[in-house]
Amino acid sequence: MRFRKPRVNVQTLEHPAVTTEASTVWWKGAVLYQVYPRSFADSNNDGVGDLPGITAHLDHIASLGVDGVWLSPFFTSPMKDFGYDVSDYTDVDPIFGRLEDFDALVARAHELGLKIIIDQVYSHSSDEHPWFRESRQNRINPKADWYVWADAKPDGSPPSNWQSVFGGPAWTWDARRHQYYMHNFLKEQPQLNVANPDVQEALLDAINFAIHDPKLTDNPPLTSNGKRTRPFDFQDKVHN
């Protein structure tokens, strides 16, 4: 196994302006403190870092003058790739805590004026995700096209010579479907077919679960004077 990102990192975001109001968005030029939950702070002495451990150290992070915290994945996962193989996009892995712990982390961060960025993994899932388990059953089930499947070449070899980032072919044979599935990383991380509108909708549902305010708090009015042609343009979308 290998870590795809440094465990703790401070990074400055530099992005070109993409809208007329891009100069006002908080992340342009922001300084982020990256936290790798597994090794950052262990609150219950089980040998694994967790969300309450991060919350306990937010005051220190805020004292550094950073704008926000970038959290590496903490969602439910079999941990073949240390959390980058997600089996449930809407729950916290028990080794890191509970959803309530994440809510408490966000609340404390906001009290300290810190933004929270979640490292979301939407190009692939774990092979233990219910979507993939259904997709691999046959070629006609409702999720048959939710992942990148392809037939073998006439000689039985993979559909292309594509290679995995971690080494070896980016294709693994599945004896149930009699097809290859694609994976840019480990074979336990099958590639989602994000060209499929149903997959896009499912991922958007996961995103909305993570970012909307369950209290349905009103958004404040937008103070800038950009183009306003619809009600959407009048709000500062901080709660949804």
Neighbour tally for 143: CB within 10 Å: 19
pLDDT per residue over 206-225, tens digit each?
A: 888 777 676 778 888 887 77
Beta strands in the chain (DSSP E): 8-12, 31-35, 68-71, 75-76, 88-92, 115-118, 149-150, 171-174, 179-182
* pTM, 2 dp: 0.79
Answer whether residue 40 shows pLDDT above 80.
yes
Report the distance separating Cα 182 and Cα 162, nearest Å. Answer: 9
pLDDT, tens digit, for every residue of 47-62? 999 999 999 999 999 9
Does domain 29-121 fall into CATH 3.40.50.720?
Answer: no
Residues β-bridged to residue 76: 88
Q: Report the DSSP beta bridge partners of residue 9.
A: 34
What is the residue extent of each domain of the chain?
A: 29-121
- Percent of the chain whose predicted confidence (pLDDT) is above 70: 87
Residues 6+ apart with CB under 8 A from 119: 5, 70, 71, 72, 73
Note the pLDDT tens digit of each residue in 128-142: 999 999 999 999 999
